[in-house]
Amino acid sequence: MSSESQSGTSNDPILPLELYGPEVSYFTGKLEAVIRFLELPYERISIAPTQLASSTGTAQVPGLKFADGRWLTDSTPIIEWLDARYPAAQVIPRDPLAAFFSRLLEDYADEWLWRAAMHYRWEYAESAHHLSRVLADETASRVPLPEFVKRYIIRNRQRTLFTRGDGVTADTWDHVEKIYFDSLTHIGAIVEKRPFLLGSRPSLADFGYFGPMFRHFAMDPSSARIMRETAPGVYEWVGRVWNARTSVTKGELLEGVPDDWGPILDSVGSAYLPYLCANAEAWKASASHFDVDIEGAPYRRIRTAPYRVYCLEELRRHFDALSQPHQDEARSRLEAHGCWEPLWRTEGVESGINPDRTAPFAGSHTMTGVSLPAARRFYWSAPSIGRKGR
């Protein structure tokens, strides 16, 4: 049990928390950092995504369980809910413009850095062999198969779902890696000037980037070596976010949008939002896969994900919630970085996710769009052992 505790929470009926997910999980690490920052007592329990489905309704991690028995899923709405319950920490900036663009950066880091994070984890032998051993030990210790078979299944499954099965080919390899190197450059330039992305304490933008940077890029052998050797300032920032606590990490957040976020916003406009639009058009056409050229890289047969349609809907919803003066200012900044047109390009499409605004107290679609029965069959079915990766 973590000893984290925030003043005034001793009688809080939702505490202590139970955080379910593997130690190496992208989004589990992101949410755990927020819980640590809020200094809430918690215990992390290692579990595979499919093992959570009966409790949360979705085969993905993390799952968060309150002491009163309620379950939450999806790190972004969980963080929003925790921020509302413990407002003194101000994880989400109170300045409306800073809040909107922080949400944009968090979404970009969550969904666009995902492919690069999975690429470095599963397409480099050193990392793939290490992580398959970790996951086999942590989430599959009771599976009645030889260790080497479990590790093979894990590597094959992850590549099929998240790299070779999601647009990583010889034609896109360099572009996928460019996403990582650009991110190191962008974050490195910011944290040379201040401790965190929006000031002297972490905010939603930091925690969004922290997900891929901590449990993937800074820990997996191949990508971690690159970070240590080429961006030690980012490596230091990762530790700073993990070590941040509301009781000691004091200071103010900046208002508005810092100029040094510009290169990130350029990438949002040239890469991420066009990708969201292509995914949304495929969903609208009931297509299971789609092709899209991003910054000259030809991504082919990318799996259509309804969750990423939901991401586009949420960005638009948060923009619409701004006052007119803030909308005008936000639009001007979005236009300056090529973000405005792709934000609104796709029309007449609905994800069908969380229409009643019940999240995070409800199961959501998996990010991959793979159904729970299919995920269960694929993860530990014997026939998949013989399937060769491309």
Query: Residue ranges per domain, the chain?
Result: 1-89, 113-175+262-354
Distances (CA, A) of 65 to 44, 68, 91, 122: 10, 8, 20, 30
Contact (CB, 8 A) for 64 and 43 = no
pLDDT value of position 385: 25
Rounded to 5°, angle at Cα 162 from 156 and 168: 100
pLDDT value of position 54: 78
Residues in the chain: 390
pLDDT value of position 8: 53
Distance CA 301, CA 297 (A): 13
pLDDT value of position 376: 34
- Two tokens at 164? 């070779």
pLDDT value of position 316: 98
- Two tokens at 73? 């899923």
In sign, the C-alpha dihedral spanning 14, 20, 23, 28 is negative
Question: pLDDT truncated to tens, each residue of the chain (390 aa)?
Answer: 554 545 456 689 999 999 999 889 999 999 999 999 999 999 999 887 777 877 887 778 899 999 999 999 999 999 999 999 999 999 999 999 999 999 999 999 999 999 999 999 999 999 999 999 988 888 787 888 888 899 889 999 899 988 998 999 999 999 999 999 999 999 999 999 999 999 999 999 999 999 999 999 999 999 999 999 999 999 999 999 999 999 999 999 999 999 999 999 999 999 999 999 999 999 999 999 999 999 999 999 999 999 999 999 999 999 999 999 999 999 999 999 999 999 999 999 999 999 998 999 966 555 554 443 333 333 333 222 222 222
Out of 3.40.50.300, 3.40.30.10, 3.40.50.280, 3.30.450.40, select the CATH number for domain 1-89.
3.40.30.10
pLDDT value of position 9: 66
Distances (CA, A) of 178 to 11, 125, 236, 267, 369: 48, 19, 21, 11, 26
Contact (CB, 8 A) for 36 and 89 = no
User: Pairing state of beta strands 297-303 and 289-294?
Assistant: antiparallel
> Phi and psi for 366 in degrees, rounded to 5?
-70, 150
Amino acid at the residue 326? H
Distance CA 136, CA 147 (A): 7
pLDDT value of position 226: 98
Cis preceding linkage at 62, omega within 30: yes
Distance CA 130, CA 22 (A): 14
Distance CA 222, CA 216 (A): 10
